[in-house]
Structure 1
Amino acid sequence: MAGRGVLVRGRRGPSCAPGPARICSVAVTKIPLRRFTARALPIDDHDRVLLLHGFDPVRPDQPFWFTIGGAAEGGETLQEAAARELFEEVGIRADVREFTGPYESSVIEFEWSDYAITQDQTFFAIRVGSDAAVSFEHMEQIEKDTTTAYRWWSVAELEGTREVFFPKNLAEILQKITAGEGRA
């Protein structure tokens, strides 16, 4: 990935623009990371999905909405990871057997902070009450620092928003779940 220009005085080389103070291009290397993740989709009594709002710490001016979830740890099944992440990220306790799915599986590549991430992600749903209390209390510090809000979204709201959210096909996934359609 091409990095930001760096002001360098007195250095000559093919990557520098001519002049007494040259702008040189610097390659920024991201740390590669492969993750196998469970994405938890809590769905309330009104068929709305709970999403988190946050940002990449190196791009705080580009916020987005995202699903709850994270990497499976130490021999966990993906459903166990979904239940753990649901509690850690929003404070909702759930039994692994309450999750349905998977409804979608995909591999995505993206950058976040210092990482170039390849993420295998599998989506599971769980029904929760509309009165489910949401808390960021159990998040890791980096999550607390980069998560700004939560919101319940309907299919219509996802389809009509100009907000950025991931995955881009979340409205389709939610529609499939709430219509009782098949799993991935």
Structure 2
Amino acid sequence: MHDEPSRRTVARVLPVDADGAVLLLLGCDPAEPAVRYWFTVGGAVDEGEDLAAAAARELREETGIEVEPSTMGEPFGTFEVGFSWNGRNYVNDSTLFAVHLPERPQEISFDGLDRLESQSIFEARWFTPTELEDDGRAVDPRLPDQMRAAVAHVAAAVNGEAR
């Protein structure tokens, strides 16, 4: 394992449906395939790419859902997280976006995943924050609260309130 973590700028997106459920992915660290957990869509920002464009690209790559970057609106939060993935240490400076999908897509596609991602992402599912807490497999204990913030952010946008 590398001693010095790689620092990355990351865009994460929480798609929110009309009922206040959030689309999450079930996956694992390839170095520990038996341990599966739920996490948000997202990943590293490419050089020269803005955060909203990265969030839209990650949503397309990881779920097949296509949205315009402008539908991401303003971010609703940021956080830093350190972790290990596939034997390498990372520190992510994450920016959170919420996008309203009033109608759930009929199909989620993993066709845009790269080879390693396709071996470590297994399922997509809509959760309310309470359902995720009951499931107990959130990658980060902050995730249910981030989901609540995403739902509130989308509700404010739908109701025309300032964000």
Range into which the TM-score falls when normalised by the shorter chain: 0.7 to 0.9
Structure 2 unaligned regions, length at least 5: 157-161
C-alpha distance in 2, partners of 1:84/1:132?
19
2:159 paired residue number: none
Q: CA deviation at 1:94?
A: 0.5
CA RMSD of aligned residues (A): 1.8
Q: Which amino acid letter does the alignment assign opposite residue 90 of structure 2? A: I
2:138 paired residue number: 165
The reply on whether 1:136 has 2:106 as its aligned counterpart is no
TM-score (norm 2): 0.87
The alignment covers a number of residue pairs equal to 155
SS at the partner of 1:171? helix
Q: Are residues 97 and 146 of structure 1, via their aligned partners in 2, closer, same or farther at CA, if it must alter by over 3 Å?
A: same
TM-score (norm 1): 0.77
| Identity over aligned pairs, percent | 34
**Cα contact 2:27–2:37 (8 A) shared by 1:** yes
Greater RCO, 1 or 2 (C-alpha within 8 Å, sep 6+)? 2
Larger Rg: 1
Q: CA deviation at 1:144?
A: 0.5
Q: Which amino acid letter does the alignment assign opposite residue 44 of structure 2? A: A
**Cα contact 2:26–2:36 (8 A) shared by 1:** yes
Which structure 2 residues correspond to residues 75-154 of structure 1 after superposition, within 5 A?
75-128=48-101, 129-154=103-128
Which structure 2 residues correspond to residues 28-107 of structure 1 after superposition, within 5 A?
28-30=1-3, 32-107=5-80
In terms of fraction of residues, the more strand-rich structure is 1
Deviations 1:51-88 (A, max 9, x none): 11111111111111111001110211111100000001
Q: CA deviation at 1:177?
A: 2.8
Q: CA deviation at 1:102?
A: 1.4
Q: CA deviation at 1:160?
A: 2.2
Q: CA deviation at 1:119?
A: 0.7
Q: Which amino acid letter does the alignment assign opposite residue 115 of structure 1? A: R
Q: Are residues 81 and 150 of structure 1, via their aligned partners in 2, closer, same or farther at CA, if it must alter by over 3 Å?
A: same
